[in-house]
Structures are given as structure tokens and as C-alpha cells.
A = this chain, B = another copy of it.
Amino acid sequence: MSTQLIPPEWAWEFHGHQCPFMPIGYRMGKLAMQYLGVEHEADHGFFIFPELGEGHPQTCMMDGMQVATGATYGKVLMAKTFYGKLAATFYHNKKGAVRFSLKPEFVDAMGKFEFFAYRKKGIEPSQIPLAVRQEVIKWVNEQPDQAIYKVEAKPVFTYTPPKGSFNKTKCSICGEYVFERYVRFKDGQPMCIPCSGFTESRLDGLKGIQ
């Protein structure tokens, strides 16, 4: 029996190509929502911390997660941890957190499909024969949830997003607006980071992800 948790048609349009990972992320997002008892996020209450990074494949999962949950990058609800792992922690401040990861046995079994032979040759997903793409997507859809996902409760996980502010200042050099948190001062004048030449630090309020 195939999963009922299938991305809507427009999700493929959004993502840009057919691959197995967008639907794997979509289903992960839907299952996490069911686990936590949350609805599609209209505003800013539900966060996803995917453990993916860069310079490796299979990150397309994150587009499926965005589509499923409404916890989008644009709403600052998704941020990678850069661990290079096929996992994500889903967190709602009223409902708690859960971590989903792909089971290694599932990853190994999926890796035998012809789709990956093409990808390892450097062929982009949209250039792989449609039948080859559909074969692996169909197989993924036929696997039961528990064959794909390891699910871990994360009772101590917490995340506090940075306090928001509408205050902004014009950079004294380029004249563009800068939100207050990112204004720097140099020679006594407010500046944006690039005009100041000061490098940037990145922070998070992430605790208890593992």
C-alpha cells in the first residue's frame, strides 16, 4: 500500500524537478505535524532545524518540509544545523519537539536505484530519464513510514527565536535601510555590515537537538 502523504502537484512546480527527496521530506513534515498535533503554520510558531548541510546530495528533503508544514525559510522558521545528516527536528513552542531521521537501511536500499547512478555521474535530476525518476519515487511511496523514519521524542529541546524589532536606520554610507540588530558603528556613524567592513557573527538559541 502506498503512502497517502503525497505532495500536491504545485510542490513539484515549486521544487523544479522530480526526485525522491522532496516527497521524503514532505512525508516527514506531515508525520511530524501528526506526531506533535500541529496544523500547517500560517504565521511564525513552528520551527524546523534540518541537520543537512551543503556540498552533499539529498537536501531536497527541505523543500518538501517547507511545503508540508508552512515552516518556510522566508518566515525564518527553517535553519540548517550543518551536521550533514539526513534528519530534522520539528519544534512548536506549545507542542514540543520531535526528531525524524532516515534509517540507514532505508538509505542503503534506496541507493541501489538507477536514479543514483545518474546522480553520481553528475547528471542533474531534470536530465535523468523520467521513468528512472518515477521508479524510485514509486518505490519510496510504497515503503511504510516505519521503514523510512526513525522517530525520537525530544522532551528537553527548546528554541527561543531572536526578539523581533521593526527599528531600522539608514546606513550613513550607502543610504539603504538596515534593521537595528545589524547596524554597526564605525567612525561614530551608523553603517550596514558591508559598508562597515565588520564581519558578522551568527547565533542561535538552539538547545537539546541531540
Given A86-B177, A176-B101, A181-B84: A25 in contact with B74 (beta carbons within 8 A): yes
A119 at the B interface (CB under 8 A): yes
Given A124-B44, A126-B43: A73 in contact with B82 (beta carbons within 8 A): no
A168 to B120 CA separation, bound complex (whole angstroms): 13
A54 CB to nearest B CB, Å: 5
Q: Which of A30-38, A56-64, A139-147 contacts B (4 or more CB under 8 A)?
A: A56-64
Contact yes or no, A165 B83, CB < 8 A: no
A125 to B42 CA separation, bound complex (whole angstroms): 8
Q: How many residues of A contact B (CB 8 A)?
A: 79
A187 at the B interface (CB under 8 A): no
Nearest-neighbor residue (CB-CB) of A59 within chain B = B76
List of B residues within 8 angstroms of A177 by Cβ: 85-86, 102, 104, 107
Interface of A with B (CB < 8 Å)?
A: 8, 10, 13-17, 22, 25, 40-44, 53-57, 59-67, 70, 72-76, 78, 81-87, 101-102, 104, 107, 116, 119-120, 124-127, 161-166, 168, 170, 174-183, 192-195, 200, 202, 209-210
